[in-house]
Structure 1
Amino acid sequence: MSEFGDFEFERKFLVGDMPAVAASDPSPALIAQAYLFASDGYAVRVRLQGPAPARLDVSTAELVGALGGEAIGTMTAKGPAAGGTRYEAERDLDPLVAGQIVARAEHVVLKVRSSVWLGEDGWVIDRFLGGNAPLVLAEVERDSPVVDLVIPSFCTTEVSEDDRFRNEHLAFHPFSGWAGDYRNELELLGPTFVDTLGCNHFDGT
């Protein structure tokens, strides 16, 4: 835990296509997370995470079962985000209990996470499954505010402050239902990047 306690500092970006660098992670993880409550930026989440199985085109219950004894369970309470900062208190949960909750939950997000190191920062690249496919998001997290960031070229636009791309929103409103409208919006308005967190540096420019 950082000196800031139960707070996370991250920035999130939309990715057009799965970047080649994601393949450098030899052991991507499958994440199944159920949202038991989500309102006005507050959320309670139960997560089960373990090695991604070879087959992903199966039901949520089958995916959860495939994680087996290597899975890690957590329960997290989240507060509203502001300026790339969000309250997040995470505690360990018995993976068997976490799996049973996720398997029975109505609002679940499934994704395969690849972790890569780019420059001075560790990034995660999430490829969403089910109703949120083909969404791909990239996140960078630090122990303090994410300032003066080098943004990789595969990042299309920043969505750190767009609540539609928060997992709790995706659990209740899957991306497939509004992807077309969002693409039209992005084409009309163009990409944007948060400019209140130091200087943005774009990789390759």
Structure 2
Amino acid sequence: MSESDGGDFEFERKFFVRELPASALSDPTPAVIVQAYLFAADGYAVRVRVQGPAPRSGGDTSAQLLEAVGEEWIGTMTAKGPAIGGTRYEAERELDPLVAAEIVRRSEHVVAKVRYSMWLGEDGWIIDRFLGGNAPLLLAEVERASPVVGLAIPSFCVSEVSEDDRFRNEYLAHQPFGAWVGEYVRDLDRLGPTFVDTLGSNRFEDT
């Protein structure tokens, strides 16, 4: 739910979430996203995505979700650069959704997720609930038209992963979260949460 006018750059922060918050479940029109990474190396990536209405029930594999793709869906191709300080080059162009779906269908490294959108205070937030091999991953993300500073962080955000490359979608496409969730949770419980402190003061708010 970005309103960014920063040209071919995105400004975002990302957080690990343990449970889907009630505010996300209040979204009346969640979206399903299925995306393939045609190339990913050293922070650079090329992605093809299709996005449409989330199914009310069933359809939790990429193949099942792609069966629903139609003209009302959105198709895009995006080139990304490495992220530095919450800023990342991202040039996105529209594709015919049916063509995009066929590219994704034939791709090896695919990520599928349900996206919930909501407003909290002055910021638009999304919660991504990952499917397939990346379940049970939940990530919260906030994006602005300029660097995300002085952020009010909701209580459902357990730890910040903005600078943890393992939580980038291109990494998850190659190394699904389900294969290393135990290791991550053990480390989180042992070391405690972390938050980026180089983007102004953080405020923590109950939600």
Superposed CA offset, 1:47-73 (max 9, x none): 000000123445422211213221100
1:70-115, Cα deviation, whole Å (9 max, x unpaired): 1100000000001000000000011111000111111000000000
Change (3 A) 1:58 1:154: closer
Residue 64 of structure 1 aligns to which amino acid in structure 2?
L
User: Which of 132, 144, 154 is the matching residue for 1:142?
Assistant: 144
- For 2:173, which of 158, 171, 183 is the aligned residue? 171
Match of 2:79 in 1: 77
Aligned to 2:25: 23
Call closer, same or farther: CA 1:15–1:58 in 2, change over 3 Å: closer
Residue 97 of structure 1 is matched in structure 2 by 99
> Aligned residue for 2:158?
156
Letter in 2 for 1:144: S
Per-residue CA deviations over 1:35-57 (Å, capped at 9, x if unaligned) read: 00000000000000000012344
Aligned length: 205
Deviation at 1:3, TM superposition (A): 5.3
Once the two structures are superposed, residues 140-159 of structure 1 have per-residue CA deviations (whole angstroms, 9 ceiling, x without a partner) of 00000000000000000000
- Cα distance in 1, alignment partners of residues 113 and 145 from structure 2: 24
CA distance in 2, matches of 1:59, 1:137: 19
1:171-200, Cα deviation, whole Å (9 max, x unpaired) = 000000000011111111110000000110
Task: State how far apart, in whole Å, the 1-side matches of 2:184 and 2:167 are.
Answer: 11
3-state SS of 2:39 partner: strand
Q: Is the 8 A contact 1:153 1:204 kept in 2?
A: yes
Q: Give the structure 1 partner of residue 37 of structure 2.
A: 35
Q: Percent identity?
A: 71
CA separation in 1, counterparts of 2:153 and 2:197? Answer: 12
Q: 1:2 offset after TM fit, Å?
A: 5.0
Counterpart amino acid of residue 85 in structure 2: G
Give, in whole Å, the separation in 1 of the partners of 2:191 and 2:180: 16
Structure 1 runs (4+) greater than 6 angstroms displaced:
none
Unaligned runs of 5+ in 1: none
Greater Cα shift, 162-171 or 67-76 = 67-76
For the residue of structure 1 that corresponds to 2:133, the secondary structure is helix
**1:150/1:202 contact within 8 Å kept:** yes
Partner Cα separation in structure 1 for residue 17 and residue 187 of structure 2: 16
Distance 1:54 1:94 in 2: 24
Matched, 1:116 2:121: no
Q: Output the CA distance in 2 between the equivalents of 1:59 and 1:159.
A: 25
| CA RMSD after TM alignment | 1.4
